[in-house]
Structure 1
Amino acid sequence: MKKGKRYQEAVKLVEKSKLYDLGDAVAILKKSASAKFDETIEAHIRLGVDGRHADQQVRGAVVLPHGTGKTVKVLVFAKGDNVDKALAAGADYAGGDELVPKIQNEGWLDFDVVIATPDMMGVVGRLGRVLGPKGLMPNPKAGTVTMDVVKAIEDVKAGKIEYRLDKANIIHVPVGKASFSEENIADNFNALMNAVIKAKPAAAKGQYLKSVTITSTMGPGIKLNPIKFGE
């Protein structure tokens, strides 16, 4: 695929073999993010673990101090009073069994995060084949299976993101927008890195942070020095 002129210009700002400090990398990203929309800043962290083993899974959630810059649509599965509480707390949608056919049969997926109370997981489980591949299944580790729907919604709306390994043992998550200040992007990135390092499984051997890259939607990846983040 041929890359555009804007991308070619951005690539010139990055030395391929260099491992950058976070501050320098963010400054380059801000300079190179010149698309007509507010580009998302993403982190890609390759870990020295084997996610096929349960004791080497890395998964959790972290609230980014400055949010993601994205308006997040939240769907809550709950019963009774919790439906009203969820809507009052800012959930975009809330309900129970009646939502299952809408998602299963009509392909309705107009939401970014799904939260469920524990007593609704039997219902939500029926949607595993639809929600699972899209990374939308509620999970206790991510704080999205809880009786405290109000706090869960507030956290998500404030910038809580979930991180998990893909099949190649890489974590891909947004850490802000190109319009954010350099300090705010760095704060968010450091909050994510601290959470990932804390989540290091006891079974992980050798180098945990294999590579750490930061990029914008349309820009080149900039490699950071993993040693700078400690372990």
Structure 2
Amino acid sequence: MKRGKKYVEAAKNIDRTAQYDVAEAVSLVKKAAVAKFDETIEAHIRTGCDGRHAEQQIRGAVVLPHGTGKAVKVLVIAKGEKIDEAKAAGADFVGGEELIPKIQNDGWLDFDVVVATPDMMGVVGRLGRVLGPKGLMPNPKAGTVTMDVTKAVNEIKAGKIEYRLDKTNIIHVPVGKASFTEEQLADNFQTLMDAINKAKPSSLKGQYIKSITLAPTMGPGVKLSVAKVAQ
């Protein structure tokens, strides 16, 4: 794959054979973000889990102390007084059963996170084929199936992110923007790692975290020392 000039220049500052501590990695990854827009900084965490086994499926959510730098559009599917509660909490879109055909048939997906009350999950279940592949299906483990819609909306707006294994047992999550300070990125990253370390499956044999890379949207990745980050 041919890389652009900016990518090649940025990559010169990074020793591909080295494993950096958090402060060094954050400093390097900020310098590697040379695109004309405010790049997202993502963490890519390769685990020793086997997601084919239910007990080794890692999934959860954590509120990053400095947010993600992205304005998140929240859809709440509820009924009764929970509709008013969601609106008061600042949800971008709120509705009930009438939203199902709009999403299912009209392809409306102008939102980033879906929150649903438990009494609406029978209805929301019909959207599995649409929302599932996009990672938008509400889930109790992620705190997006709840009666406390105020708390759910507030946390998502404050920078709550969901982490989960992909098919190759890697977790991909944003930890902020290139415009963040090094301290903000390091704080967010450490908060994420603390949550992932706590989520270690008890049934796992062998190494839990195999590798960690921080990378900007368009730039080269920086490898971190697992020993210094994952306890």
Tell me the TM-score range normalised by the shorter chain. over 0.9
Q: CA deviation at 1:230?
A: 3.5
1:83-132 deviations in whole A, cap 9, x for unaligned? 11101111000111110111011111000000000000001100000000
Answer yes or no: is the 8 Å Cα contact 2:115–2:145 preserved in 1: yes
1:146 pairs with 2:136:
no
2:14 partner SS: coil
Q: CA deviation at 1:37?
A: 0.6
1:203 pairs with 2:217:
no
Q: Which runs of 5+ in 1 are unaligned?
A: none
Q: CA deviation at 1:223?
A: 0.6
Structure 1 vs Structure 2 CA RMSD? 0.7
Once residues 189 and 64 of structure 1 are traced to their aligned partners in structure 2, the CA distance between those partners, rounded to angstroms, is 8
1:226 alignment partner in structure 2: 226
Answer yes or no: is the 8 Å Cα contact 2:22–2:229 preserved in 1: no
1:104 alignment partner in structure 2: 104
2:136 alignment partner in structure 1: 136
Amino acid at match of 1:107: G
Once residues 158 and 113 of structure 2 are traced to their aligned partners in structure 1, the CA distance between those partners, rounded to angstroms, is 13
Detail structure 1 runs of 4+ shifted over 3 Å in the superposition: none
2:125 alignment partner in structure 1: 125
Amino acid at match of 1:89: A
1:174-204 deviations in whole A, cap 9, x for unaligned? 0000000000000000000000000000011
Amino acid at match of 1:133: P
Q: Which runs of 5+ in 2 are unaligned?
A: none
Once residues 76 and 95 of structure 1 are traced to their aligned partners in structure 2, the CA distance between those partners, rounded to angstroms, is 7
1:66 alignment partner in structure 2: 66
2:194 alignment partner in structure 1: 194
Using the TM superposition, name which of 63-72 and 77-86 deviates more: 77-86
1:25-70 deviations in whole A, cap 9, x for unaligned? 1111111211111000000000111010001111100000000000
2:25 alignment partner in structure 1: 25
1:4 alignment partner in structure 2: 4
Identical-residue share of aligned pairs (%):
72
1:123-174 deviations in whole A, cap 9, x for unaligned? 1100000000000000000000000000000000000000000000000000
Q: CA deviation at 1:229?
A: 1.8
Once residues 229 and 26 of structure 2 are traced to their aligned partners in structure 1, the CA distance between those partners, rounded to angstroms, is 15
2:113 alignment partner in structure 1: 113
1:161 partner SS: strand
Using the TM superposition, name which of 23-32 and 119-128 deviates more: 23-32
Count residues in correspondence. Answer: 231
1:36 pairs with 2:39:
no
2:134 partner SS: coil
Once residues 17 and 112 of structure 1 are traced to their aligned partners in structure 2, the CA distance between those partners, rounded to angstroms, is 36
1:127 partner SS: helix
Once residues 3 and 102 of structure 1 are traced to their aligned partners in structure 2, the CA distance between those partners, rounded to angstroms, is 41
